[in-house]
Amino acid sequence: MTRVRFAPSPTGHIHIGNARTAFFNFLFAKKNSGSFVLRFDDTDLERSREEYAQGIETDLRWMGIDPDVIVRQSQRFALYDAAAQKLKEMGRLYPCYETADELDRRRKRQIARGVPPVYDRAALKLTDEERAALEAQGRKAHWRFKLEERTMHWNDLVRGESHIEAGSLSDPVLIREDGTYLYTLPSVVDDIDLGITHVIRGEDHVTNTAVQIQLFETLAGKAPIFGHHNLLTTASGEGLSKRSGALSIASLRQAGIEPLAIAALATLTGSSDAVHPVASLQELGGLFDLSHVSRGAARFDENELATLSARTLHAMAFGDVVSRLAQEGVSGAKAEAFWPAVRGNLETFSDVREWWRVVEQVIDPVIEDAEYCSAALALLPDEPYDAQTWSRWTAAIKERTGRKGKMLFHPLRLALTGKDSGPELAQLLPLIGRVKAAARLSGQSS
Ligand code: GLU
């Protein structure tokens, strides 16, 4: 059974780059009839905040990602303590007492001598007495994982055959001297405990993978499958930051960007499929394939989002927007014909309010030429109206007045809608109806 996780730390708002990781995991789970775990990496109790965790959950659900399971690392310390204990007993987790300054000096000496600045494992050589003496001085241990010096291979779902020489790495610190955990161990312990089969994450984590595979193998016998995708960058090549709040999902929602547009952009940028509007996450899932994700940069132009969002709206079926229309006050007998009439003119969904006002509520008509409008009013057909009413009416006006083109149509648009441009009047007129049309043509607010 496939099980994946999206593991943000709740220290800020997630942005479209984080959404890329979330969608990759979610679509991968859906494709394989698996499940999706939302794991909050909140071991940093100072920087993590509940409001960010809630915000992330809201953002994910708004984008159509409903987690099957939600866990918080802050509630799972007992598991990490047990794993640390096990590693200590196996002789794979050892106490070190160097200060940051000492380590820094040692690194500089190594570099000067032309040797790689890898931790020299001096702490492994300490005798019990030396350790006791250091502790008596008030030093507290931080704990390092003793790596086996071998080449770690994995077949990356995105990058293909990959390897890292563990012997070229410093033994990683898993526990700080104040007893808090760095990200490495809790992540592995949770992935084991939750039965994660595939770890799909950004390529900024590739360097963690050799260490984590060794931890998996030590604690559970085997590691999950890994896939590291390229990170989204802005058109100018800049990375996205959680802290700046730029391109956060919350701000895009506020700007009226469609969630499906975010999904398409986050998923298809930097893949072999061009970014284009999709009608559902299911459709996007059919296009998505980790092996189609390029290894090069995944640049996107943030100005494309608004256009993609509008194009996404223009293709939406009425059935997919019924409840959203109701939330904007659009419901009743006219709603179903209203949607296809106006959707092609929407920039954001909330623009429906203005067009609903035009067909259902009161507007101030703009009368450019009162004489012309009253001539048109005299020819206004009786109801019932249909899609041909407009062309029959305007043909009659043309014949009577000799006007054509913009001179014929534009004053009618201004009178009927109060606006310079908008949806096809052939579709709007039946929705506006004769009573309102007649009042507006004679200059009355209606
Ligand atoms: N909390 C980590 C991050 O946001 C998770 C990394 C991982 O997926 O293993 O980068």
Distance of CA 7 from the midpoint of ligand 1 (Å): 5
Which CATH architecture fits 370-441?
Answer: Orthogonal Bundle (1.10)
216, pLDDT greater than 80: yes
pLDDT band at residue 239 using 50, 70 and 90 as cut-offs: confident
Ligand 1 lined by 394 (C-beta under 6 Å): no
Which pLDDT band holds residue 244 (cuts at 50, 70, 90)? low
Q: What is the pLDDT of residue 38?
A: 98
Confidence of residue 243 (pLDDT cuts 50, 70, 90): low
Q: How many angstroms does the Cα of residue 194 sit away from the middle of ligand 1? A: 15
Distance 29 CA to ligand 1 centre (A): 18
Fold of 249-314: Glutamyl-tRNA Synthetase; domain 2 (1.10.1160)
Indicate if ligand 1 lies below 6 Å from the C-beta of 8. Answer: yes
C-beta 41 within 6 A of ligand 1: yes
Q: What is the mean pLDDT of residues 294-317?
A: 93
At the second CATH level, the architecture of 3-78+182-232 is 3-Layer(aba) Sandwich (3.40)
Mutate to test the pocket of ligand 1, among 41, 206, 241 (most ligand atoms within 8 A of CB): 41
User: pLDDT band for position 324 (50/70/90)?
Assistant: very high
Mean pLDDT of the chain: 96
Q: Give distance in angstroms: CA of 175 to centre of ligand 1.
A: 17
Looking at residue 295, what is its pLDDT?
A: 84
**CA 75 to ligand 1 centroid distance, Å:** 17
Using the mean position of ligand 1's atoms as its centre, give its distance from the Cα of residue 168 in Å: 23
Over the chain, what HEC string results?
CCEEEECCCCCCCCEHHHHHHHHHHHHHHHHCCCEEEEEECCCCCCCCCHHHHHHHHHHHHHCCCCCCEEEEHHHCHHHHHHHHHHHHHCCCEEEECCCHHHHHHHHHHHHHCCCCCCCCCHHHHCCHHHHHHHHHCCCCCEEEECCCCCEEEEEECCCEEEEEEHHHCCCCEEECCCCCECCHHHHHHHHHHCCCCEEEEEHHHHHHHHHHHHHHHHHHCCCCEEEEECCEEECCCCECCCCCCCCEHHHHHHCCCCHHHHHHHHHHCCECCCCCCCCCHHHHHHHCCHHHECCCCEEECHHHHHHHHHHHHHCCCHHHHHHHHHHCCCCCCCHHHHHHHHHHHCCCHHHHHHHHHHHHCCCCCCCCCHHHHHHHHHCCCCCCCCCCHHHHHHHHHHHHHCCCHHHHHHHHHHHHHCCCCCCCHHHHHHHHHHHHHHHHHCCCCC
Look at ligand 1, atom 10, and give the residue with the nearest C-alpha.
Answer: 8
* pLDDT confidence tier of residue 245, bands split at 50, 70 and 90: low
Q: Is the pLDDT of residue 246 over 80?
A: no
Decide whether any atom of ligand 1 lies within 6 Å of the 9 Cβ. Answer: yes
